[in-house]
Amino acid sequence: MNEIVRIEDQLRRSIEGEAWHGPSINELLQDVTAGEAAAKPITHANSIWEILLHVISTQEIVLERLAGKPATDYGENDWPPVRNESSAAWSSALRSLSDTSARLRNAVLELEARHLDEPIVEGFSSVYVTVHGTVQHNLYHGGQIALLKKAIRSA
CATH among 3.20.20.10, 1.10.1660.10, 1.10.1740.10, 1.20.120.450 for 3-154:
1.20.120.450
- For residue 116, the Cα-to-chain-centroid distance in whole angstroms is 20
pLDDT digits (tens, 9 = 90+) for 46-105: 999 999 999 999 999 999 999 988 777 677 778 999 999 999 999 999 999 999 999 999
- Over residues 13-60, the pLDDT tens digits come to 999 999 888 899 999 999 999 999 999 999 999 999 999 999 999 999
